[in-house]
Structure 1
Amino acid sequence: MQELITKVEQWFIDRNLHTLDGTGQLVKLQEEVNELKDAYEKNDREEMIDAVGDITVVLIVFCMQTGLDFEECLASAYEEIKDRKGKVVDGVFVKEAY
């Protein structure tokens, strides 16, 4: 995973896109999420794979542009959810209230 992250980061560095402020990536992220939703609704596995990959690339460069570490963000999210308890309601996990 780290090797792929490094390759994605280098792609953006090579094109001098790594110093932007991240605003454009937020727009791109919304577009890619919409593409994922469309692919899911069409049950198009190949397009879902493409969209998830594109979303990941956008998140990696957003982190790069805003001084965040992608792996640190993922680890933080995992630490937050790892001990959660709850139930699935209408296909969505709902955490227990504490």
Structure 2
Amino acid sequence: MKIFSAIVSLATGNIPALIGGLVVDTLQATIRKVDWAVVIERLVSRVVVMGLRKLERMTTNQLVKDTVDNIIEQLNHSSNRLPQVKKQDEIIKKRVSRRRRDK
């Protein structure tokens, strides 16, 4: 049915409707293919690592750098199935060290 409506739109000169329909169909197909469990896992691991590193930098707490490294290492353990934690930690460390150099 979509093919028929596309041909009718093309024949009647309704090119913007045809292109808009193609864009909507493409976006819907792309969104359906995304593995949302992976996206959410990476978002949560990034937020947890960022929060731990922020707590580590604050002067009002007693959280030691070794403790943060230990927590991140435990999250990265293979039994927890969070393989991206170590990678996210390295990215965050680079950003923080870059900010400290700029100050």
> Shared fold (TM-score greater than 0.5)?
no
Higher strand share: 1
- Give the TM-score of the pair, scaled to structure 1: 0.31
- Give the TM-score of the pair, scaled to structure 2: 0.30
Larger-gyration structure (1/2): 2
